[in-house]
Amino acid sequence: MTTDSPTRADAASLRVGGQELELPIVHGTDGDDAVDIGKLRGETGLITLDPGYGNTGACTSAITFLDGEDGILRYRGYPIEQLAAQSTFLEVAYLLIWGELPTREQLDRFVSEVTHHTLIREEMRHFFDSFPSDAHPMAVLASGTVGMSNFYPDSQNIFDPDAVEITINRLIAKLPTLAAWSFKKAIGQPYVYPRNDLGYSANLLHMMFAVPSEAYEVNPKVAEALDLLLILHADHEQNASTATVRMVGSTHANLYASISAGISALWGPLHGGANEAVIDTLERIVADGGSVQKWVDKAKDPNDTFRLAGFGHRIYRNFDPRAKIIKSAAERVLAATGADDDLFEVAQRLEDVALNDEYFISRKLYPNVDFYSGMIYRAIGFPKTMFTNCFAIGRLPGWIAQWKEMMESPETKIGRPRQVYIGPDTRAYVAIEQR
């Protein structure tokens, strides 16, 4: 039975020439419903065309829901605001990957598993030697992640639940160590080993900022702020890097290879690299005298390629709910660390001017997750080249959850989009003498 509203109908009718095709509509629990075009090419010879996939669902998923119009984000049904206020990153990682909030016993076991896999193989110390000291930490993280698979051949058993579980735990445990050591390599300091008596985020801070020559005390408020940032970055349904992880995983490449591809996709300044680009922009504004209006005008100029990093989003046409939480956390961290970040004041002015500018209002461009996150990373002491590494550590459980859901789904086939060919028609080869 079809109803008038397109989103509650059970089928869509497509008329092509004299042919009429009925296409079923797939209803979600919330948000978008979809026209299932699985039989379109077979029945009509036509395919659909949707560059950037703005109107195309690649899968059904039960992991993360977001509503771009109302600025809603939920992990496995739990609102991000509640998880940010009450949960921890490892608990959220468990929720995303295994589908339910863990019992105390389940969480303790997961935390213990992660804690006891934080060391990377000692031979990998030499892996870092092959990079120049100014290597970008995202290049090191992506290559180190796929490189780790050489030490764990069981990761090739992608349909063995025990092999998958230990691979998941190793990745979550080792990515912070890999990231921290890429930073130590960049600044020429000794590698700092993880400590089993520290929590996940405190351990990352320890490996990043401790030196063998003196004691290093983790500031619990800073560890708490980092844990919050990791929660907020943990998943975001079918974004570019997650879609990449799913695509690579659909070829039955192992999880290390799939995650490494996701890290590379995240690096781009239109995606996770925007947090680093925001700081670049704010530093340019300060160096240029601090006038934000000039840079807002530059971002609006169609003839200028400059875009305001940290603003706009493919899905959110309202405030990114994560940006709101991060902005208030940034104020707390600046107070807790005593960091006097002149960039935060510029960022607030920039946000204020942009939000009241017709160009941004008409295009529904709001601050996204990357606009204020860099303030917190800076206040903590991370160099801006490490910001996207932190984003990757946060997004890892989401990538893993999406890969696992894809691998377990009977719907899954190897990803292989089609195209509309617009090149030359068939033509005969011409010898070079005749060209």
What the block records as the tokens of 174 is: 């080792």
Least Cβ distance, residue 188 to ligand SDX (angstroms): 31
What the block records as the tokens of 200 is: 């996940």
* Of positions 299, 333, 350, 379, contacts ligand SDX by CB under 6 A: 299
Which residue of this chain has its Cβ atom nearest to ligand SDX in the complex? 312
Binding mask 222-241 for ligand SDX (x = CB under 6 A): --------------x--x--
Binding mask 265-294 for ligand SDX (x = CB under 6 A): -----xxx-x--------------------
Instruction: Give the nearer residue to ligand SDX in terms of CB position, either 136 or 313.
Output: 313
Least Cβ distance, residue 299 to ligand SDX (angstroms): 4
Cβ atoms of residues 95 and 102 within 8 Å: yes
* Of positions 140, 253, 369, 400, contacts ligand SDX by CB under 6 A: 369
Cβ atoms of residues 40 and 23 within 8 Å: yes
Q: Does 351 bind ligand SDX (CB under 6 A)?
A: no
Cβ atoms of residues 148 and 254 within 8 Å: no
Instruction: Give the nearer residue to ligand SDX in terms of CB position, either 136 or 236.
Output: 236
Q: Does 195 bind ligand SDX (CB under 6 A)?
A: no
Using the contact rule CB under 6 A, the part of the chain among 19-27, 137-145, 177-185, 303-311 near ligand SDX is 303-311
Least Cβ distance, residue 352 to ligand SDX (angstroms): 16
- Among the listed residues 313, 320, 342, 357, the single catalytic one is 313
Q: What Cα–Cα distance (Å) separates residue 360 from each residue in 149, 300, 304, 317, 368?
A: 45, 8, 16, 11, 13
Q: Identify whether 370 is a catalytic site residue.
A: yes
Using the contact rule CB under 6 A, the part of the chain among 254-262, 332-340, 364-372, 380-388 near ligand SDX is 364-372
d(CA 304, CA 297): 10
Instruction: Give the nearer residue to ligand SDX in terms of CB position, either 182 or 239.
Output: 239
Instruction: Name the region of 100 (left: φ>0; alpha: ψ -120 to 50; beta: rest).
Output: beta
What the block records as the tokens of 326 is: 């991060």
Phi, psi of 202 (to 5 degrees): -60, -35
Query: How many other C-beta atoms can be found within 10 angstroms of the C-beta atom of residue 376?
Result: 29
d(CA 430, CA 129): 50
* Of positions 307, 317, 324, 332, contacts ligand SDX by CB under 6 A: 307
Strands 78-79 and 72-75: what pairing? antiparallel
Burial of 99 by CB count in 10 Å (0-12 exposed, 13-18 middle, 19+ buried)?
middle
CA 13 to chain centroid, in Å, comes to: 36
Q: Does 361 bind ligand SDX (CB under 6 A)?
A: no
Q: Does 141 bind ligand SDX (CB under 6 A)?
A: no
* Of positions 176, 312, 374, 397, contacts ligand SDX by CB under 6 A: 312
Count CA atoms within 13 Å of residue 354 on its CB side: 27
Spatial strand order in the sheet of 64-67 = 64-67, 72-75, 78-79
Cβ atoms of residues 89 and 174 within 8 Å: no
Q: Does 313 bind ligand SDX (CB under 6 A)?
A: yes
Instruction: Give the nearer residue to ligand SDX in terms of CB position, either 331 or 357.
Output: 357
Cβ atoms of residues 234 and 395 within 8 Å: yes
Least Cβ distance, residue 83 to ligand SDX (angstroms): 15
Q: Identify whether 357 is a catalytic site residue.
A: no
Q: Does 124 bind ligand SDX (CB under 6 A)?
A: no
The count of chain residues that interact with ligand SDX, using the rule CB under 6 A, is 21
d(CA 68, CA 82): 19
Least Cβ distance, residue 3 to ligand SDX (angstroms): 31
Q: Does 374 bind ligand SDX (CB under 6 A)?
A: no
Instruction: Give the nearer residue to ligand SDX in terms of CB position, either 110 or 295.
Output: 295
Phi, psi of 5 (to 5 degrees): -65, 125
Give 209-236 as a 3 state SS string: HCECCECCCCCHHHHHHHHHHHHHCCCC
Q: Does 75 bind ligand SDX (CB under 6 A)?
A: no
* Of positions 37, 365, 375, 406, contacts ligand SDX by CB under 6 A: 365
Instruction: Give the nearer residue to ligand SDX in terms of CB position, either 194 or 312.
Output: 312
Q: Does 74 bind ligand SDX (CB under 6 A)?
A: no
Least Cβ distance, residue 363 to ligand SDX (angstroms): 4
Least Cβ distance, residue 401 to ligand SDX (angstroms): 14
Task: Kindly list the residues in this chain that would bind ligand SDX in the complex (CB under 6 A).
Answer: 236, 239, 270-272, 274, 299, 307-315, 363, 365, 368-370
Residues tagged active-site: 313, 370
